[in-house]
Amino acid sequence: MLNFNYSIQTEVFFGKDKIKVLPEQVKRYGNKVLLVYGGGSIKKNGLYDDVVRLLKENDILFWELSGVEPNPRIASVKKGVEICRSHGIELVLAVGGGSAIDCAKVVAAGVGYDGDLWDLVVNPRKIQGVLPIASILTLSATGSEMDPIAVISNLEINQKIGTRHPKMTPKFSILDPTYTFTVPRNQTAAGTVDIMSHVLENYFSPTDSAYLQNVMAEALLKTCIRYGKIVMEEPEHYEARANLMWCSSLAINGLLSLGKLTEWSVHKIEHELSAFYDITHGVGLAILFPVWMDYVLNDQTVEKFASYGINVWGLDDSEDRYEIARGAIEKTRAFFREMEMPATLREVGIDDRQLALMAKQATSDGPLGSLRPLEEGDVLAILKAAL
């Protein structure tokens, strides 16, 4: 196990009706709030009304940044920063999924920055002061509710980049599984794949000595598989929604990644797909992950994929290791199919025209991952195999 520091910055209020803590928690940071949200689903399901009522009843002033895109854009960040500056905002409160939270984070980081806000995405070292951030989560997926990361897109230059800073970790997050009851079927599925992909990026690592982190990763994967299937059938299954929601936070809050090297190579490739074609993150991951697994399977990695097959998918330990490894990849592919995810790039309207450019951009900072480091040519081969 490698050395690490463990520090959890976010206080989580988990469960039905936990929104009642909102006024008290907000007031720890101030009295002027920027609400950040997306396309209005929170207006349909009543959450917006609840939030507004609680704020008004407690004399908390608020302004709104609405219409944040599924892949949040730097243009939205700029709007948010302007509102904060005009009104002396003291807390940025995202109500939504990862998009709203990611946007809120860079808004909070941008208020005290004088230069071009895109700088903060490209170069997180420029992030200094950050306004306090909080979230009310409505989608189990990105884990942004408990992590220091924000992914922002700049469609003008076809870039989608993840930035991170410890101060961008939410101070508190309210996780009420009932808010995810009305998440559409395809977003529920893509969110579940997203959670699993975070676990897998941590799990497939050259650091075998972090055994505890690996078996915990298997625990999260089993949870996603078990409840992913259930929510597709019964969207209002509280137990399933609750387990997926807590998985989304634990998948990326440090628990699984500390003390080991981690991959994040598939995420880096997927960000190119989203940057060029604006597709749903989880969909891109569902297409790419099995292809990546096939590509990196070799004598050095076969044991990891075999362990994955045995411990997560219950495959027979006594079989040939390559047999088990390939079986595990096939199980993964079949599960994503069962979750009604597309399996090829063509199904989401991506052809071969931009593949070379995406491969180049994905590796512009060097090879991806450490399990089998991927050069530009490797990424191109993976993208072609995913067509």
Rule CB under 8 A: which residues touch its own copies?
1-8, 11-18, 177, 209-212, 215-216, 218-220, 222-223, 226-227, 238-239, 242-243, 246-247, 250, 255, 258-259
> Smallest distance, Å, CB 94 to its own copies?
18
> Smallest distance, Å, CB 173 to its own copies?
9
> Smallest distance, Å, CB 322 to its own copies?
23
Closest to its own copies by CB, 20 vs 44, is 20
Closest to its own copies by CB, 37 vs 227, is 227
> Smallest distance, Å, CB 136 to its own copies?
15
> Smallest distance, Å, CB 255 to its own copies?
8
SS3 365: coil
Per-position DSSP letters for 129-147, written without gaps between them: ----EEEEE--SSS-GGGS
Q: Tell me how far CA of residue 67 lies from CA of 15, 228, 318, 332, in angstroms.
A: 27, 28, 53, 34
Provide the 10 A C-beta neighbour count for residue 236.
Answer: 12
CA distance 35 to 306: 46
Angle at 210 between CA 209 and CA 212, to 5 degrees: 125
SS3 222: helix
Question: Token pair of 186, please?
Answer: 């395809």
Which string of b and e fits 85-113 if b means at least 16 CB within 10 Å?
Answer: eeeebbbbbbbbbbbbbbbbbbbbbbbeb
Closest to its own copies by CB, 247 vs 386, is 247
DSSP code for 165:
-
Closest to its own copies by CB, 12 vs 77, is 12
> Smallest distance, Å, CB 213 to its own copies?
8
Closest to its own copies by CB, 26 vs 379, is 26
CA distance 337 to 251: 22
> Smallest distance, Å, CB 308 to its own copies?
14
CA distance 349 to 28: 47
Question: Token pair of 152, please?
Answer: 């922002």
Per-position DSSP letters for 65-109, written without gaps between them: E----SS-BHHHHHHHHHHHHHHT--EEEEEESHHHHHHHHHHHH
Closest to its own copies by CB, 4 vs 298, is 4
> Smallest distance, Å, CB 226 to its own copies?
7
CA atoms within 13 A on the CB side of 308: 28
Closest to its own copies by CB, 111 vs 199, is 199
Closest to its own copies by CB, 9 vs 158, is 9
What is the identity of the amino acid at 362? A
Closest to its own copies by CB, 34 vs 210, is 210
Provide the 10 A C-beta neighbour count for residue 316.
Answer: 10
CA distance 149 to 314: 33
Closest to its own copies by CB, 1 vs 334, is 1
> Smallest distance, Å, CB 260 to its own copies?
11
> Smallest distance, Å, CB 145 to its own copies?
11
